[in-house]
Amino acid sequence: MFKIKTDLCDFMDLQTAASWAEILGLVTILGAAIYSWFQIRELRRSRDSTTAMNLAANFQSQDFVVGLTTILNMEFDSSKIDDSSNEVEVLKKHFGEDWPKVMVVLTTWESIGVLVHRGEMDFHAFYDLFSGVFVRTYEAFSFILEPIRDKDGNKEMEWVIWLYDRVKEYEKQGSGTPPAHIAFKDWKPRKRS
């Protein structure tokens, strides 16, 4: 009888140990899941930060800066373009030697549209860095971009158009921000510790 009681106690200790092992395993799995979630968030932040830095580096590219300045100062008579004219040839002639730099800006916007759509670039980082000059670029070329919408299957500058629509929807919803010097005029840097 004593042996049966001892075996029963050993069985109870083994059962208790197994229960604790299950609890410990569950806590370990839960802890790993929580840790992974934080790591994924940190990786996304790091990716977004890297993307924003790369995006901001465009302002250090001479071709981009010259192209953007050319666009922002563009005085173009869109009546020069009619149904019979080749838009690109008319623009090449208008911009002259700066045409390749203007194309750097337009293709940069096109690439950014794809990256934002795929989630490779944070929309908000793009919006904060470039929304003003992007909208002005679109509006400067609206005489070419708007008719593209009416042509089924036309894929020219499709991501520029898509990105412009997203920016305008964002602002229409009231989500856009006023210029930084107004929106964040009360901002103060953290004190050093």
In tens, the pLDDT along 115-170 reads 899 888 889 888 888 899 999 999 998 888 888 888 877 788 899 999 999 999 99
Q: How confident is the model at residue 181 (pLDDT cuts 50, 70, 90)?
A: confident
Position 159 in a domain: yes
- Whether pTM > 0.85 for this model: the answer is no
Position 155 in a domain: yes
Q: Are the CB atoms for 160 and 113 separated by under 8 Å?
A: yes
Owning domain of residue 117: 61-179
CA dihedral 174, 179, 183, 189 (to 10 degrees): 140
DSSP 34-69: HHHHHHHHHHHHHHHHHHHHHHHHGGG-HHHHHHHH
How many structural domains compose the chain?
2
Burial 10-36 (b: 16+ CB within 10 A, else e): eeeeeeeeeeeeeeeeeeeeeeeeeee
Q: Are residues 15 and 27 in the same domain?
A: yes
Last residue of a domain, one of 10, 34, 57: 57
Residues with Cβ within 8 Å of residue 66, at least 6 apart in sequence: 98, 101
Q: Are residues 21 and 107 in the same domain?
A: no
Q: Are residues 67 and 10 in the same domain?
A: no
Q: Are residues 81 and 142 in the same domain?
A: yes
